[in-house]
Structures are given as C-alpha cells and as structure tokens.
Amino acid sequence: MGIVTIGVSIAVPEPHGSLLQQRRAGFGDAAALSIPTHITLLPPTEVEEADLSAIDAHLAEVAAAGRPFPMRLSGTGTFRPLSPVVYVRIEQGAEDCTELQQQVRDPAGPVSRELAFPYHPHVTVAHGIEEAAMDRAFEELAGFEAAWPCSGFALYEQGADGVWRKLRDYPFGANVVPSQGSPAERNPIASR
C-alpha cells in the first residue's frame, strides 16, 4: 500500500459537464480532459491507501445525513490576480456546498485538512493559461446558465497519468429537493 491522491466533488451533470469541459479544452487548458467538470468539496489530497476504507465510511455518513439541494450556475468570475483561474459562478447552492465541504473536512474525520485559500465554491473553466485565453473564457461564458437538483457527491482518485477517475458516488440520504428559495426560506425553523 502507498500514497494516493483523492478529491471529493459534486459533478456538473450532462449536458453541462461535457460542454464546459470542451470549452475549457478549447481555451487551451491542457488539464481539461483529465478533470471531470465539478465543484470541489475536498481539493487534491494525499492519503494513505490503507485509509480509504475509513474515508469511504466517513463520506457515506456525511451523505446519509445530507439532502438534495437546488444548484444553479450563472455567469463567470475570476480569482486573478491572486490565482490564475476563471470560473463559472454558483448562483444558488453555494451555502450548501460550503456546509458540505466543512463536513467532509471535519477536524475529527479522516480527511481533515487546512485549505490554502478560503473556500469559494465554483466551476473552473480556465486555469493557468495565457491571459488572453483567460479573458476569452471570462467573456464567452459570461452568459452561461445551468440548473439541476444536487443529489450527492463523489470520491475521485488521480491516476499516475494525471486523470481523475470516480471511485464511488455518495447519494444524499433524503430524497426531497427543497424549494428554490434562500436557505432561510428552505429551512424556516433554522432562521428563528
């Protein structure tokens, strides 16, 4: 057994996932076809292969306690000049993603880790490419919109070839998608 690199994310469903992946490749991002289109919950993290069963059990527990939520993407944003990234913004579902990633990285759990930057859920569409291509990605996807009910997340492993492959899906335990309102509107008891 050795070290493996894992990540946890919410997949952007079809046809949106393939469309954004193809656009990312078209902007000249060489990594585009190695990375399924996603919203990160746990960034690339090295773990002992022997720890995968404990990680699997932890993620299954997080998912079992979760419930589907509405996800909506709209427009673009960028982390430049701090980081060379252009992304599609999460218009709805960002708070849910933030809560979920905190549960995944729970300090008492098997994948506790600090982040290099504060968590900001997004869908990367250009990373580390020429500035002109970054500008093009920002402009050409500014009108992009997509919506779907997020019903779970997945565990991925990065292979020696750099390609990210899904190891397992973790569907949420509850199967009712709340209304498209704000978090307080979706859970009025919590706002009291």
Quote the CA–CA distance of 150 and 49 in Å, as a whole number. Answer: 28
Cβ-based neighbours of 74, under 8 Å, separated by 6 or more: 88, 89, 91, 144, 145
What is the per-residue pLDDT for 174? Answer: 60
Specify whether the CB–CB gap between 28 and 134 falls below 8 A: no
> Which pLDDT band, with edges at 50, 70 and 90, does 117 fall under?
confident
What is the per-residue pLDDT for 183? Answer: 45
Alpha-carbon dihedral angle through residues 68, 36, 9, 4, given to the nearest 10 degrees: 150
What is the per-residue pLDDT for 104? Answer: 97
Specify whether the CB–CB gap between 127 and 29 falls below 8 A: yes
Taking residue 129's Cβ as centre, other Cβ atoms within 10 Å add up to 20
What is the per-residue pLDDT for 106? Answer: 94
